Amino acid sequence: MIHALALYPLAALAEIGGCFALWSVLRSGASPWWLLPGAAALAAFAWLLTLVDSEAAGRTYAAYGGVYVVASLLWLWAVEGRMPSGTDLAGAALCLAGAGVILGGALRG
C-alpha cells in the first residue's frame, strides 16, 4: 500500500499534465508542440500505474481514481487559480474514502 501511495500522486500529476496539454491546445490556443510533452506525460502515467503491486489492473485503476480526483482539484487551485468549492471538497473526500476501501480490501486478499 505504501508503494501505491507513492506512485498514485506521481501518476496523477503525469495524467493531469498530459491531459491539460491537450486541453490547452484545443481549448486555449496553445502551440501544437505542447502535444509532445503531453503525450510523454500520458505515457509516463500509464507506466507508473503498472508499477503498483496489484493482481488486477481494474482494482489499481479504481483505487487510483480517488487520488486523481484530489489531484485534479489541487491542479484547479494551483495551476488554474480557481478555488475548489465546498462540494468539490466533499466529493473528493468521498472519492478518497472509496479508494481507501478498495485498497483496504486488496490488502486483505
16: left (phi over 0), alpha (psi -120 to 50) or beta: alpha
Closest by Cα among 39, 108, 80, 55 to 47: 39
Summarised one tens digit per residue, pLDDT across range 33-87 is: 999 999 999 999 999 999 988 888 888 898 899 999 999 999 999 999 999 999 9
Summarised one tens digit per residue, pLDDT across range 21-36 is: 999 999 999 999 999 9
What residue spans of 29-109 are helical by DSSP H? 35-50, 57-78, 86-108
- Whole-angstrom distance, CA of residue 8 vs CA of residue 109: 20
* 24, containing H or E segment: helix 2-28
Q: What is the pTM of this model?
A: 0.85
